A and B are shown apart, each in its own frame.
Chain A
Amino acid sequence: MLAQNGIPTAEDLARVRPTAERLARGPVAVAECFQNIPCDPCYHSCKRQAIKPFADINDRPQVDHDQCNGCGMCLMRCPGLAIFVIDHTYGETEALVKLPYEFLPLPNEGDVVDAVNRAGKVVGEARVEKVQSGAKLDGTSVVWLSVPKDLSMEVRHFKIREVR
């Protein structure tokens, strides 16, 4: 359980997961924020009002996946690094997972990296399609990984393979 080991359960994730039908339509944000903490930048960052207004700063983000176009503004602003953008239209068999990344060195586009799940375990491999960084992102880069579609809701981190 999240409160015991920091890993969200399948039930936690079921509450924030876009429908298969929505995933098939293109990029969409998944807010993996499961605790009522005083924090609201995601709501203010959304230009499409896809994150429901917060009545209270302790509210959790409720993403209207039909309003969301997966632009990633919320992903870049979330101080908890808890928002990801998933795009199932990226390829025939591959989906794109955009995730916030704060480690150096940054990977290179085209690198094949170990795809890591929420528990820190390697679950497969991913290709780095794009790395967004720069002053505007203020130290939190956004890495675009392509992964097999069935791993799009699993992969949330990656490890650069060591060169020996």
Chain B
Amino acid sequence: MKQTEICIVGGGPAGLTAALKAAALGAAVTLIDRNDYLGGQLIKQTHRFFGSKQQRASERGINIARELAAAVQNEERITVLTGATVLGYYKDGVITVEQNEQYLKIKPQKIIMATGGAEKSLAFPNNDLPGIYGAGAVQTLVNVYGVKPGNRVLMVGAGNIGVIVSYQLLQAGVEVAAIIEAAPAIGAYWVHASKVVRAGVPIYTGHTIKRAWGEKEVEGATIIRLDGKWQPVPGSEKDLDVDVICLSVGLSPLTELLWQAGCRMRFVPELGGHVPLRNELLETSVPGIYVAGDVSGIEEASAAMMEGALAGLNAAKALGYDAPDFAQQRDNIIKELAELRSGPVGEKIRNGLVKAGLA
């Protein structure tokens, strides 16, 4: 059995910043990720981020991932386990891990769950045909492995992921026939939408996919207009000749370990599904288990990095580590996080967070 002070599950933006902050205060950290690399979804974010200067606005996620991962690797207080899958959480606080076909047991004093989210799917006829992907999966294929998913894509969903992945497909030389969105308005930041539209991709709001067709793989899709009550308008069908359909219909938090640990959970649609209740320290109803990033509610990577930093500071502090400017560090992050969420596009998150508080 390995002992560690803080075990962090997930090496994406939240897990990396949590590890760095906790180690900077002096804590011994074990960071676990099931991928062979650190960085999580950041490693395929080739676009520039929004946010404020302090939150690395205008930098590309891929560069942020490299920088954070290098800082983690260079920090002697952090032990990194990659290619390592956390299998379970046990009542006595033991975490079990599979790595290189070895079964490991780790006993941490504190845990930060930063497991991220998973893509949602959509029900429609033939949605099991080869050639139908989650948009995030296509982004991994294209930006991580350099593999084109096909030649002509229908993107379903005009949120930030759908619109950004469409743009990155164009950059990879893949044609995007259209982006459709069931809602009456584009969910993505409008500047993202404008840049794909001027590059030649139409966005159809109030449209959904009726069916995919094809014998052994996707050969096309039928889309249909929706009325003000989200009902399909008969006769408004349009066929699109595509060989790839990308689903970008939202993410849900990856909360299995939190359920297993007995954390109090609540279904909060604004945050993407079931989320753990947490206090202002980001500690769940199970003392010593903290959460950060998409596992606690689907949001942007900038928010995940700030939550990670907070959880890292708080977990280390709970172990007795401190810094002369601890309060200032924490207050600054809390202030920046509040600013990031303060505008009209943050309203949904704010409404969701109210429901996820631990009284």
Contacts and interface: CB of A to CB of B under 8 A. Distances in A.
Contacts of B200: 116, 120, 159
B191 A35 contact: yes
Contact of A118 (B197, B204, B339, B346): B197
A39 B46 CA distance: 17
B340 A5 contact: no
Contacts of B203: 4-6
A36 B345 contact: yes
**Interface class of chain A by DSSP:** loop
A80 B205 contact: no
A41 B57 contact: yes
Contacts of A118: 194, 197-198
A38 B346 contact: yes
A156 B200 CA distance: 12
B197 A119 contact: yes
B190 A4 contact: no
B199 interface: yes
A157 B198 CA distance: 6
Contacts of A82: 191, 194-195
Interface residues of B, number: 44
Interface stretch (B122-130, B181-189, B312-320): B181-189
B51 A5 contact: no
Nearest to B158: A6
Given A116-B198, A139-B60, A38 B170 contact: no
Given A56-B339, A119-B197, A138-B60, A40 B52 contact: yes
Contacts of A57: 51-52, 339-340, 342-343
Interface in A59-115: 77-82, 102-104
A3 interface: yes
Contacts of A159: 200
Contact of A38 (B52, B184, B185, B199): B52
A7 B194 contact: yes
A14 to B, nearest CB: 16
Nearest to B63: A138
Interface residues of A, number: 41
Nearest to B197: A6
Contact of B186 (A4, A33, A44, A138): A4
A44 B58 CA distance: 11
A4 to B, nearest CB: 5
Nearest to A104: B171
Given A6-B190, A102-B171, A120-B198, A38 B339 contact: yes
Nearest to B190: A35
A39 B194 contact: no
A117 B199 CA distance: 9
Contacts of A34: 190
Contacts of A103: 170-171, 199
Interface in B41-68: 46-53, 57-58, 60, 63
Contact of A56 (B199, B206, B343): B343
A44 B51 contact: no
A77 B58 contact: yes
A106 B94 CA distance: 54
Contacts of A10: none
Contacts of B302: 38
Interface string B288-324: 0000000000000010000000000000000000000
A42 to B, nearest CB: 9
Interface centre among B57, B171, B346 (most CB of A within 10 A): B57
Contacts of B346: 38, 58
| CB-CB nearest 4 A-B residue pairs | A80-B191, A58-B343, A6-B193, A79-B48
Given A4-B185, A38-B342, A140-B48, 13 more contacts: A2-B190, A3-B185, A6-B193, A39-B50, A57-B343, A58-B344, A58-B345, A77-B58, A80-B189, A103-B199, A117-B198, A120-B202, A157-B198
29 contacts: A4-B186, A5-B186, A5-B202, A5-B203, A6-B196, A6-B203, A7-B197, A8-B194, A37-B191, A38-B339, A39-B57, A40-B53, A41-B58, A44-B53, A56-B339, A56-B342, A56-B343, A57-B342, A58-B344, A58-B345, A77-B58, A78-B58, A79-B50, A79-B57, A80-B189, A80-B194, A80-B195, A82-B191, A119-B197
Interface of A: 2-8, 32-41, 44, 56-58, 77-82, 102-104, 116-120, 138-140, 156-157, 159
